[in-house]
Amino acid sequence: MKKFVIIGGGISGLSLAWFLKRRFGDKISLTIVEKENRLGGYVHTKRKDGFIFEQGARSCRSKGSGMQTLQLIEQLGLQDQVIAGDPSVKNRYLWIDKKLRSLPTGPFSFFTSSLMKGVIPALFKDLKTAPSSEKDESIYSFISRRFGSNIAETLIDPVTTGIYAGDIRQLSIKSCFPFLHEWEQAHGSVIKGAFKGRKKKRISSSKFVQEHQRASLFSLKDGIEILVHELAYRLREHLLLSNEATAFHFHPNKVEVDLKDGTILEADYLFSTIPASNLSSLFASHHKELSDLLASIPSISVAVVNLGYHKSVIKKRGFGYLIPSKEKENILGVVWDSSIFPQQNQIPEETRFTVMLGGAHFHNFDDLTSQECTNIALEAVSEHLRVDTPPDTISVKMAPKSIPQYLVGHAAKVEAIENILSRVFPRLTISGNSYYGVSFNDCIAYSKKLEENTKL
């Protein structure tokens, strides 16, 4: 019987374990090692004073790799939990020049919105600009080359903030927005690619998946962590919690994994789903080049401040707002959770906000206390939303080094890591949000791909 060991019990490790178990059943032995006493990593739903707060991932895009997440939900029998984002989520805002400005929601507002000033010439610029021959470049360089620097700084910077909390002058276009890079390379322009690239092959999926892929966003009624709980239950006999992988020993026919409590696990196949920086230290004495490559994939710190009110404190409905870094505000943006997923509201008039702080532009963020983060969050909702009512409940989660940064050259780094692994450590496979996509969906889709590529 082949022995599979998975290091890390976040969504990458758990979904991989589930797909492998579903496919190979009793033909394999499976162990998941998690250093904390809880599973889920950056998926964490907190119930506090009658509110449902997400301290990590809160929503998933339905399209694209949302399909694999919906399929997983279906396999686990959690269909009744799926909730679609409210239609008002199309209302999205940017905080610019001390005002909330709405992004266009349709063709009319596209032409009338003040945010779209200069967009038409920018579209023509894209059509006229030849593709770059560079292998990779920063998001800022790509967007300003094709659309102008105003589009990069005003529109793309906050979108990037919402996903990576990073700096568009350092993040890679190829790894952070691969479809934009591909459209340019394949069709000569992003606009042309957006039209031509749309005609994608239809992949057959169940009625449940098709139905939910029609909405733009989805989540789970009792919080995203429900998925983790169900996976934990289904995988219960394979879990080793509160135990950390501390060293690997590679032999020609097996790998040994040392655990913190002194146990040694044997594996025919070893999967690491832990952050690249953690894996780097496990290779420090084995292979310096590999260890250095892994260490060169940094992660950035953020904090999540959830505010709960037992009444309605804001008239606007929508997804919330993001802030371009040039505005030099102390927060990244505010998500209007009670408006996005009203199905999670325990009373109809409740309001839930999530204020996101930190990221690449907040210097010395790691020195802040959770009380300081709370104060910044309360000041922001007062100034930006005119909400001065004290929240009934506050929950703060500091998330140090939680969001991987795919810097320019990331794809080449990952390729170099894969090459070393296949040459020198062929029994180890890497996965997790440090390499192939940071979203919840990306993690699950990559686990599915790994399972499909696994041969006994």
Under the binding rule (CB under 6 A), the answer on residue 358 touching ligand FAD is no
Q: State the Cα angle at 349 between 343 and 354, rounded to 5°.
A: 70
Q: Which of 65, 144, 189, 273 binds ligand FAD (CB under 6 A)?
A: 273
CA 388/CA 245 separation, integer angstroms: 47
- Toward ligand FAD, which CB reaches closer, 12 or 141? 12
In whole angstroms, the minimum distance from the beta carbon of 3 to ligand FAD comes to 17
Residue 63's alpha-carbon distances to 68, 131, 249, 332, 441, in angstroms, are 10, 27, 41, 25, 10
Q: Between β-strands 239-240 and 60-61, what pairing exists: parallel, antiparallel or unpaired?
A: unpaired
Question: Could you identify the residue written with the tokens 């040994």?
Answer: 256
Q: Which of 403, 414, 417, 450 binds ligand FAD (CB under 6 A)?
A: 403
In whole angstroms, the minimum distance from the beta carbon of 35 to ligand FAD comes to 4
- Toward ligand FAD, which CB reaches closer, 21 or 58? 58
Under the binding rule (CB under 6 A), the answer on residue 298 touching ligand FAD is no
- Toward ligand FAD, which CB reaches closer, 85 or 308? 85
- Toward ligand FAD, which CB reaches closer, 134 or 418? 418
Under the binding rule (CB under 6 A), the answer on residue 443 touching ligand FAD is yes
Site for ligand FAD in 3-62 (CB under 6 A): 7-13, 33-36, 41-43, 56-60
Residue 135's alpha-carbon distances to 83, 161, 181, in angstroms, are 40, 23, 10
In whole angstroms, the minimum distance from the beta carbon of 318 to ligand FAD comes to 16
CA 361/CA 402 separation, integer angstroms: 15
Under the binding rule (CB under 6 A), the answer on residue 432 touching ligand FAD is yes
Under the binding rule (CB under 6 A), the answer on residue 239 touching ligand FAD is no
DSSP string, 425-444: -TTEEE-STTTS--SHHHHH
In whole angstroms, the minimum distance from the beta carbon of 126 to ligand FAD comes to 28
Q: Which of 172, 278, 301, 330 binds ligand FAD (CB under 6 A)?
A: 278
The torsion defined by the Cα of 410, 411, 416 and 419, in degrees rounded to 10, comes to 150
In whole angstroms, the minimum distance from the beta carbon of 245 to ligand FAD comes to 4
CA 377/CA 357 separation, integer angstroms: 8
Query: How many chain residues are in contact with ligand FAD, going by CB under 6 A?
Result: 37
Question: Could you identify the residue written with the tokens 């996976």?
Answer: 231
Residues facing residue 94 across a β-bridge? 101, 322
Q: Which positions lie near ligand FAD, rule CB under 6 A?
A: 7-13, 33-36, 41-43, 56-60, 244-245, 273-275, 278, 302, 304, 399, 402-403, 432-433, 438-441, 443
